[in-house]
Amino acid sequence: MSRRKPQEQPKEEEEAQSFELVRSALGCLLPPDQAGRVLAQLRRHLGSFATLVRTPEAGLAALPEVDPGTARFLHLTLELAKASLRAGPSYRQDALLYSDLVELLRSELFGRRTEAVAVVLLDGGGRRLYSGVVISGEISAVRIHIRSLVERCVNHNAAYAVLGHNHPTGVAVPSVEDIVVTAQVALALINVDVTLRDHIILTDDSEFSFANSGLLAEVDRLAARCREDGLSRARELALRFSRGEPLGWDREGRDETDHESRF
């Protein structure tokens, strides 16, 4: 008998449960009636729980009925919840599943108003070695920080890396820039024997996996082909040099035989 897939919880119900938890937390600090008024203002001015998580402490303190002490309490409570999410998979001693990776990356990126890039490094058995935000800024900034990303992989003796970044727009669809940067990272890591296992794009309530979509396999093939092409050209250059033949470089130091584009 086939097992029935559990139905997903409606978003409205999830929102209601999240704000009910906020009410309970506020009840530890404030009288019930005051906690209710604060909650009403949070829902009225912020609308969703995701917006509440994104709102800085100063923004909370600026809302009606929310004094600085309450704003501080809410901010620390939400930060503690994020830390709890990170701690779960972080202390696991077995291989992390896809759901664990999403949970780790979401705990690092959830609630951010601007793009940021996080990474999870794994050993050969798929166990966590490191996770954290490595770049605060658009995904295109990875091009500048690829060297530091490679160094982090080498320092942790990583076998696999999982890249993740958020789309504050709420649309978990890779852009052209996302795909190009993924190829650049895969090529850089393959040169130090680290495999890019996935690149996951996250929004507050959805995600896109390069691996699960099949896009990463195409990127890997492209990176491997570029690596082999580069090694082949290096061998050709070495042979030309050993034979005393012209190297084929122009005055600007470019190989005149190389007319192919690189990503």
* CA triple 112-114-115, angle to 5 deg: 95
The predicted pLDDT at position 213 comes to 94
Return the structure tokens found at 180: 């190009």
pTM of the model: 0.64
Lowest mean pLDDT across 54-63, 156-165, 242-251 = 242-251
Cα torsion angle, 187, 192, 197, 201, sign? negative
The predicted pLDDT at position 221 comes to 87
Phi then psi for residue 46, to 5 deg, are -105, -30
pLDDT over 60 (residue 250): no
1-19 tens-digit pLDDT: 444 444 445 667 878 888 8
- 195-202: strand order across its sheet: 128-136, 116-122, 160-166, 195-202, 207-209
The mean pLDDT of the chain is 82
Average pLDDT over residues 56-64: 87
pLDDT over 90 (residue 201): yes
